[in-house]
Amino acid sequence: MYLHIVVKIDTLAKTGYIPCMRRPLPDRTIDAWARLLRASHSVLTAVESDLKAAGYPPLAWYDVLLELKRAGRDGLRPLELQSHMLLAQYNLSRLLDRMEKEACVERRPCPDDGRGQIVVIAPEGRQLLKRMWPAYEAAIGRHFAARLSADEAARLARLLGKLSPSLAVRESGNNPGRSRG
């Protein structure tokens, strides 16, 4: 899907025209969009590689475990979990199957809906989250923080917050790093 989006964006960049808009987008806007996608992909790939080299599962595992830890004893329904995750996870059900097999998460019947499930973090999942954080933090430092000054990182956070207002509200005053593990 990512490649399809990039191809479509490149096509739009050539014509500069989007049917729902009255004017073509400026080249610098298309360039910023493409750079955002490429930078995100590049940094995530590098972080994933570091985690794998350290013997840890993919970043999506960390994302799931962190959100379940934040949810507490009540856990989350799979759809709620997916909406909280930082990374897109198109096959959350299979991911949860793998994590349950490794005793990192538990699925429980939903008290409000007999057909539904609640997912909670298991003790092994809490331990994995704690073990993964130092490697994840080092990877963030190496592939992201080392390339930006503190002021640049703050400016970038503010700019990206404008693109996702709900994320800006959710994370304001919340240091996503130190609370990660």
Tell me, yes or no, whether 37 lies in a domain: yes
pLDDT of residue 86: 78
**Chain center to CA of 15:** 31
Tell me, yes or no, whether 120 lies in a domain: no
Tell me, yes or no, whether 103 lies in a domain: no
Tell me, yes or no, whether 29 lies in a domain: yes
Domain count, the chain: 1
Query: For residue 109, what are the β-bridge partners?
Result: 117
Q: For residue 125, what is the enclosing H or E element?
A: helix 123-143
Tell me, yes or no, whether 2 lies in a domain: yes
pLDDT of residue 113: 83
Please tell me the pTM assigned to this model: 0.76
The SS3 call for residue 76 is strand
Query: For residue 121, what are the β-bridge partners?
Result: 105
Residue with tokens 């503010």: 158
- Mean pLDDT, 10 residues at a time, over the chain (181 residues)? 48 58 87 95 97 97 96 93 81 93 96 89 98 98 96 94 68 47 61
Tell me, yes or no, whether 61 lies in a domain: no
Q: What is the residue type of 102?
A: E
- The model's pLDDT over 64-102, given as tens digits with 9 standing for 90+, comes to 999 999 999 999 999 999 988 877 767 899 999 999 999
| 8 A C-beta contact, residue 88 and residue 5 | no
Q: Which range marks the domain in which residue 47 is found?
A: 1-53
pLDDT of residue 143: 97
